[in-house]
């Protein structure tokens, strides 16, 4: 996902932008650029499409002086990654510079019209039309924000735009539609960014722009206008995230840091919500009318990638404990398959970013069909969080590594809480059972720590043994089948090794053909209702000389006969085994990717939030 950082104030803007943009690198990008409005009254641009070069190299032949600037990390959608296509883009006279996230769907038509009028284009991007449109609009009005409002009327698509003009020193204007922007307010100036980590070192005072808003910033003033054009006051919020949370703090990679942060992330997601002694859950935002919950006939969980795997676990929880039919669906499938949804369906979207295009579209489709909607999200005030009827936040803090780890375990934690809440309301979970579940739920953070402390050396050894293999198979059954899928996805993403996840019972229906004396087969065989069935699967793999790696319950000596590659998991209630089992699989992927020398935090071709279809 592309990132935007813009600043106007009393400090040197280029330095601030480079620092801010470096904090957005985690989102994945293929080029970077800044435009600075200098004291000479000219806009100076620096752009680079060589990702391997550090951002600071942009400035190796001198920092452009100036106190107003816009910057961008680009993840190519329209036009290949190149210096010419890197943002900021400028108008013909070079007096307007613009950065943009999203897609201008009608840019071809606009470009044709503009070319007919004599505009000269220098890139293949959709974004450049905005700079040329602004050039025309500024002939109609000298007010920069008004010109942007007129330009917006021509645009179809989704966008977060920030722009500067050589004729308007100290000013930045911005607009959003279906793509977030946040204003940061400080004594040294004002900021516009697409993502909070970019401003955390400078300020914690922020305003989340709302869909349709335009904003006008100067070093000491800011004005916001809603879609209709009327001026509006938006609430200033204070962010509690510490800038340290967005730094590596001595870990070699963000992914490793985030794996080790899971104890805290799960704890914070539980904090203030779980009343252990009563077996009850109270959410800050999700306080539905009990009658509404009692009328729900079906629950549908939707998400993409890792979030979809959380949905699959959620399906087991809801059907087993709430006794309401529940489906888990991939958002990109749901949105096009004419789902049967009505007002008795509760559709819950799960997403780290809250900006995933398919998940948002699926939620909107569900809402249009009359569903009661909810979202489990990590990013506060994200589009999904704003659009859903109900919102449950995962309190994992910013997740910087592209491969999701701590947010996944936090999503599972939120699902356990949701299950308990629904159980409290419907009475499907008896108070004594709810207390038993709560007592174990509160112990999970410590058990995560136990796994990481006691198993990390063993996991590293197992990684060393197998990292050169070209294929891996992950098997799990029942509530741990989604964890086999997640283990495989994590390995693919971080190490580029082909990995397949499969329900263990499906092995003999096809995947068993892959098993030979080379293939590492990771089998989740912690204690639970399918323990004996999984033991048969282990035998089937061993008979074909597969190289078995087991996840087993601490103290279960029966598995010692199968292999020496065993990762031990502390005993827990079966419903919680997915949350504990996924932790060593994340670490296994991490170590294999590290041994292979992969770009762990920013794997090739991936981006942190897939905001385009």
Separation of first and last alpha carbons in the chain: 12
| 219/67 Cα distance (integer angstroms) | 9
Among 91, 262, 263, 359, binds ligand F6R (CB under 6 A): 359
CB-nearer residue toward ligand F6R: 434 or 489: 489
| 2/4 Cα distance (integer angstroms) | 7
Shortest Cβ 305–ligand F6R spacing (Å): 2
Shortest Cβ 160–ligand F6R spacing (Å): 16
| 334/529 Cα distance (integer angstroms) | 31
Provide φ and ψ at 380, rounded to 5°: -65, 135
Residue 383 within binding range of ligand F6R, rule CB under 6 A: no
Return the residues of window 493-522 that contact ligand F6R according to CB under 6 A.
493
Secondary element (H or E) of residue 206? strand 205-208
CB-nearer residue toward ligand F6R: 7 or 408: 408
Secondary element (H or E) of residue 391? strand 390-393
Residue 352 within binding range of ligand F6R, rule CB under 6 A: yes
Shortest Cβ 307–ligand F6R spacing (Å): 4
Closest to 455 (Cα-Cα) out of 521, 549, 343, 347: 549
Cβ-based neighbour number of residue 599 at 10 Å: 15
CB-nearer residue toward ligand F6R: 38 or 603: 603
CB-nearer residue toward ligand F6R: 357 or 473: 357
Shortest Cβ 252–ligand F6R spacing (Å): 19
Among 149, 301, 304, 575, binds ligand F6R (CB under 6 A): 304
Among 91, 151, 194, 306, binds ligand F6R (CB under 6 A): 306
Q: How far is CA 322 from CA 140, 314, 418, 424, 554, in A?
A: 61, 11, 10, 10, 30
Among 127, 351, 480, 495, binds ligand F6R (CB under 6 A): 351
From the list 74-82, 305-313, 438-446, 579-587, the region that binds ligand F6R by CB under 6 A is 305-313
The DSSP secondary-structure symbol of 455 reads H
Residue 413 within binding range of ligand F6R, rule CB under 6 A: no
CB-nearer residue toward ligand F6R: 127 or 351: 351
Provide φ and ψ at 33, rounded to 5°: -165, 155
Shortest Cβ 256–ligand F6R spacing (Å): 14
Largest CA distance in the chain: 81
Residue 609 within binding range of ligand F6R, rule CB under 6 A: yes
Provide φ and ψ at 197, rounded to 5°: -55, -25
Secondary element (H or E) of residue 351? strand 345-351
| 548/541 Cα distance (integer angstroms) | 7
Return the residues of window 556-585 that contact ligand F6R according to CB under 6 A.
none
Shortest Cβ 304–ligand F6R spacing (Å): 4
CB-nearer residue toward ligand F6R: 293 or 606: 606
From the list 57-65, 304-312, 558-566, 575-583, the region that binds ligand F6R by CB under 6 A is 304-312
| 351/61 Cα distance (integer angstroms) | 41
Shortest Cβ 402–ligand F6R spacing (Å): 6
Provide φ and ψ at 58, rounded to 5°: -55, -30
Shortest Cβ 263–ligand F6R spacing (Å): 20
* Strand ranges in 278-389 using DSSP code E only, listed in sequence order: 280-281, 298-303, 326-330, 345-351, 372-377
The residue count for the chain: 613
| 300/312 Cα distance (integer angstroms) | 10
Provide φ and ψ at 558, rounded to 5°: -60, -30
Shortest Cβ 181–ligand F6R spacing (Å): 18
CB-nearer residue toward ligand F6R: 305 or 339: 305
Return the residues of window 173-232 that contact ligand F6R according to CB under 6 A.
none
Among 305, 423, 584, 603, binds ligand F6R (CB under 6 A): 305
CB-nearer residue toward ligand F6R: 423 or 487: 487
Among 129, 403, 499, 538, binds ligand F6R (CB under 6 A): 403
Residue 404 within binding range of ligand F6R, rule CB under 6 A: yes
What burial letters (b/e) apply to 333-344, b meaning 16+ CB within 10 Å? ebbeeebebeee
Closest to 346 (Cα-Cα) out of 387, 292, 411, 306: 292
Residue 258 within binding range of ligand F6R, rule CB under 6 A: no
Closest to 385 (Cα-Cα) out of 355, 422, 413: 355
Among 2, 85, 101, 353, binds ligand F6R (CB under 6 A): 353
Residue 610 within binding range of ligand F6R, rule CB under 6 A: yes
Which position's Cβ is nearest ligand F6R?
305
Shortest Cβ 254–ligand F6R spacing (Å): 12
Are 20 and 76 within 8 A, CB to CB? no
Return the residues of window 467-496 that contact ligand F6R according to CB under 6 A.
489, 493
Distance of CA 454 to the CA centre of its chain: 29
Are 601 and 402 within 8 A, CB to CB? yes
Size of site (CB under 6 A) for ligand F6R? 15
Residue 388 within binding range of ligand F6R, rule CB under 6 A: no
Both tokens of 164, joined, read 């500067």
For 495, what's the count of Cα atoms within 13 Å in the CB-facing half-sphere? 28
Shortest Cβ 399–ligand F6R spacing (Å): 8
Judged by the rule CB under 6 A, the positions of this chain that interact with ligand F6R are: 304-307, 351-353, 356, 359, 403-404, 489, 493, 609-610
């Amino acid at each position: 996902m592309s990132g935007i950082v813009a600043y106007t104030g009393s400090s040197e803007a280029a330095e601030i932008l480079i620092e801010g943009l470096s904090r957005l690198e985690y989102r994945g990008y293929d080029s970077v650029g800044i435009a600075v409005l200098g004291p000479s009254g000219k806009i100076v641009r620096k752009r680079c499409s060589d990702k391997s070069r550090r951002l600071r190299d942009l400035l190796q032949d001198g920092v452009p002086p100036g106190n107003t600037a816009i910057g961008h990390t680009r993840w190519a959608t329209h036009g290949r990654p190149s210096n010419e296509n890197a943002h900021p883009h400028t108008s013909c006279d070079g007096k307007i510079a613009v950065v943009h996230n999203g897609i201008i769907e009608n840019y071809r038509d606009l470009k044709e019209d503009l070319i007919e009028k004599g505009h000269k284009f220098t890139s293949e991007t959709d974004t450049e039309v905005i700079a040329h449109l602004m050039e025309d609009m500024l002939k109609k009005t000298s007010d920069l924000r008004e010109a942007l409002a007129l330009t917006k009327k021509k645009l179809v698509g989704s966008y977060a735009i920030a722009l500067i003009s050589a004729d308007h020193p100290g000013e930045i204007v911005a607009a959003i539609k279906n793509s977030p922007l946040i204003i940061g307010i400080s004594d040294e100036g004002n900021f516009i960014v697409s993502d909070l980590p970019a401003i955390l070192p400078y300020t914690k005072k922020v305003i989340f722009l709302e869909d349709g808003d335009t904003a006008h910033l100067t070093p000491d003033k800011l004005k916001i206008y809603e879609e209709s054009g009327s001026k509006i006051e938006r609430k200033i919020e204070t962010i509690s995230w510490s800038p340290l949370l967005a730094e590596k703090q001595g870990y070699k990679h963000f992914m490793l840091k985030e794996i080790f942060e899971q104890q805290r992330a799960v704890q914070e997601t539980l904090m203030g919500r779980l009343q252990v002694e009563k077996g009850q859950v109270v959410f800050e935002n999700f306080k539905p009318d009990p009658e509404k919950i009692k009328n729900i006939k079906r629950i549908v969980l939707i998400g993409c990638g890792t979030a979809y795997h959380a949905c699959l676990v959620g399906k087991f929880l809801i059907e087993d404990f709430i006794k309401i039919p529940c489906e888990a669906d991939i958002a990109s499938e749901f949105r096009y398959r004419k789902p049967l949804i009505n007002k008795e369906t509760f559709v819950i979207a799960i997403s780290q970013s809250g900006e995933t295009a398919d998940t948002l579209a699926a939620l909107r489709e569900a809402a249009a069909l009359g569903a009661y909607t909810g979202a489990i999200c990590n990013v506060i005030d994200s589009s999904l969080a704003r659009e859903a009827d109900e919102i449950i936040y995962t309190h994992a803090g910013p997740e910087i590594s592209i491969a999701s780890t701590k947010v996944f375990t936090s999503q599972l934690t939120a699902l356990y809480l949701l299950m308990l809440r629904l159980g409290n309301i419907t009475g499907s979970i008896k108070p004594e059972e709810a207390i038993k579940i709560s007592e174990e739920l509160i112990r999970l953070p410590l058990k995560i720590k136990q796994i990481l402390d006691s198993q990390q050396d063993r996991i590293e050894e197992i990684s060393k043994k197998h990292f050169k293999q070209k294929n891996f198979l992950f098997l799990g059954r029942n509530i741990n089948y989604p964890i086999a899928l997640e283990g495989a996805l994590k390995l693919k993403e971080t190490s580029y090794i082909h990995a397949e996840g499969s329900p263990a019972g499906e092995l003999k229906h096809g995947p068993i053909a892959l098993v030979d004396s080379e293939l590492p087969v990771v089998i989740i065989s912690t204690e639970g209702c399918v323990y004996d069935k999984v033991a048969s699967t282990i035998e089937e793999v061993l008979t074909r000389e597969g190289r078995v790696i087991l996840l087993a319950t601490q103290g279960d000596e029966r598995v010692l006969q199968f292999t020496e590659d065993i990762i031990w998991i502390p005993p827990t209630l079966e419903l919680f085994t997915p949350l504990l089992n996924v932790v060593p699989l994340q670490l296994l992927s991490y170590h294999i990717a590290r041994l292979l020398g992969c770009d762990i935090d920013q794997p090739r071709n991936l981006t942190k939030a897939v905001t385009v279809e």
